[in-house]
Structure 1
Amino acid sequence: MSAARPDVVAFDVNETLLDLEPVRAALVELGQPAHLLPTVFGRTLQTGFAATVAGTWLPFRAAFESSLAQLTDLDDGDRGRVADAFLELSPHPDVEPVLRRLATAGVRVVTLSHGSPGVAEAGLERGGVTPLVERTLTSETVRTWKPSRAAYLWAAGACGVAPGRMALVAAHGWDVLGAERAGLTGAWFPRAERVYPPAYPAPAVVADDLAGAVEALLALPPA
């Protein structure tokens, strides 16, 4: 079935909407190299994905602190300080305009993260865009990590729409792939990744930037 203009657009949170710079700064303050963050973040995702595939579960913070323990010599207290920096994140500069664009177009907006509860809320509040987001969702509620199909189906159900009426916008190819496999419309743009992973089937939308991804979703034909 061809992709249609969505009734609800869900956004991934970490990196897609919120800048991880405060987490990088916390690592540097504790004597770690600035370039370590992508490795730690990637290991965090690997830890969470593996737990989901293996049939167990752990929260994002536990996976993040576990990754720090594997990759650094920081003690428990310092690992906790770095993890706390997620509550200091702010939106990237391009976020507010696209949220306002969707509001003007009458499209509902939510966030969908597997991050710790409170992180999305704090970042949206810091950026002054909370009124533009209907609700914040974390797959911790259903104890599974994206890109598990169950996470996206739960999100669609929580919003009261069929999967085909919801889109997922993310700067991570694995997230867009998971959303599309669950029946959502996927939209990818580069942030931390330079290109959409060529090993994956192409999603409905591949754009040059966040604004382009949103405009492409709005340009899809009605259902």
Structure 2
Amino acid sequence: MTRRRPEVVAFDVDETLLDLAPVRATLVELGEPAPLLGTVFARTLLTGFAAAAVGSWCRFRDAFDAALAQETGFSADQRASVADAFGELSPHPDVEPALRRLTEAGVRVVTLSHGSPGVAEAGLERGGITPLVERSMTSETIRAWKPSREVYLWAAGLCDVAPERMALVASHGWDVLGAGRAGLTGAWFPRRERVFPAVYGEPDVAGADLAGAVDALLALPPR
């Protein structure tokens, strides 16, 4: 399929737009090494993906709590304090110019997460970039997890565009894979992941950084 310049660009939230530094700092304050966050975050996704694969569902916060319980000796109150730190996230420095580049080009910008409601909105507000984002969506609304196809189709429906007129930008290969399988244009760039997983094939669009991914989307042929 020949990909065209999208009318709407959805952004993943955790890590892609928002820096998880406050969550990492809370782990350190409670006596755990900073790199543990990567393990906990991966186990959180594994928990959510497994639940979705068997036709069940759980909230992101509950999956995160379960991951912390498996990886640490934290009490329930300590685990809650780590989860609460998601409400303190701020955008990475490269986010504002990337979103502004899209909006100035006439492209609608939204966010699409499977995280807890309010996290994206709080982070965008903290970064002063709420006016650049038309809508924030979380798949908790439909009790599903990305990369399930239904999540991306639901998001396109809410934005009143056909899937092929929407793109998803994420620093997670599995998210880009899911978007592409649902008919969206998947755009990947590295943050914590160094390379796009070869087992997924090639993403529709890739950039060396967030700005590069956005530029590549804008360089696609017009409709």
Matches within 5 A, 1:128-143: 128-143=128-143
2:98 aligned partner, one-letter code: V
Query: C-alpha displacement at 1:201, in angstroms?
Result: 1.8
Deviation at 1:35, TM superposition (A): 1.0
2: distance between equivalents of 1:18 and 1:54? 30
The one-character-per-residue Cα deviations of 1:16-63 (angstroms, maximum 9, x if unpaired) are 000000000000001111110000000000000000001000000000
1:57-104: per-residue Cα shift (whole Å, max 9, x none)?
A: 000000000000000000000000000000000000000001110110
Q: 2:162 aligned with 1:162, yes or no?
A: yes
1:193 is matched with which residue?
193
Q: Which runs of 4+ in 1 moved over 3 A?
A: none
Partner SS state of residue 199, structure 1: helix
Equivalent residue runs for 1:88-107 within 5 Å: 88-107=88-107
| 1:195 alignment partner, SS class | coil
- C-alpha distance in 1, partners of 2:39/2:22? 16
**Which residue of the partner structure matches residue 42 of structure 2?**
42
**How far 1:204 sits from its partner (Å)?**
1.1
* C-alpha distance after superposition, 1:154-208 (max 9, x if no partner): 0000000000000000000000000000000000000010000011121111110
- Give the TM-score normalised by structure 2: 0.99
Counterparts of 2:130 and 2:206 in 1: how far apart (Å)?
Answer: 26
Deviation at 1:109, TM superposition (A): 0.2
Q: Find the aligned partners of 2:142 and 2:153 in 1 and give their Cα distance.
A: 11
Structure 2 gap ranges (5+): none
Instruction: Show the counterpart of 1:8.
Output: 8
Whole-Å separation in 2 of the counterparts to 1:50 and 1:157? 26
Query: Secondary structure of the residue that 2:199 maps to in structure 1?
Result: coil
Deviations 1:108-146 (A, max 9, x none): 000000000000000000000000000000000110100
Aligned to 2:179: 179
Letter in 1 for 2:106: G
Letter in 2 for 1:212: G
So what's the TM-score if we normalise by structure 1? Answer: 0.99
- The 1-side partners of 2:122 and 2:190 are apart by 24
Equivalents in 1 of 2:135, 2:61: separation in Å?
21
Q: Residue in 1 aligned with 2:58?
A: 58
Partners of 2:21 and 2:54 in 1: how far apart?
31
SS state at 2:136 partner? strand
Structure 1: stretches of 5+ with no match in the other structure: none
Question: Does residue 109 of structure 1 match 2:122?
Answer: no
Aligned mates of 1:48, 1:125 — CA distance in 2: 27
Give the number of equivalent residue pairs. Answer: 223
Counterpart amino acid of residue 169 in structure 2: V
> d(CA) in 2 for partners of 1:206 and 1:215?
10
The aligned counterpart of 1:119 is: 119
Q: What displacement does 1:222 show?
A: 1.4
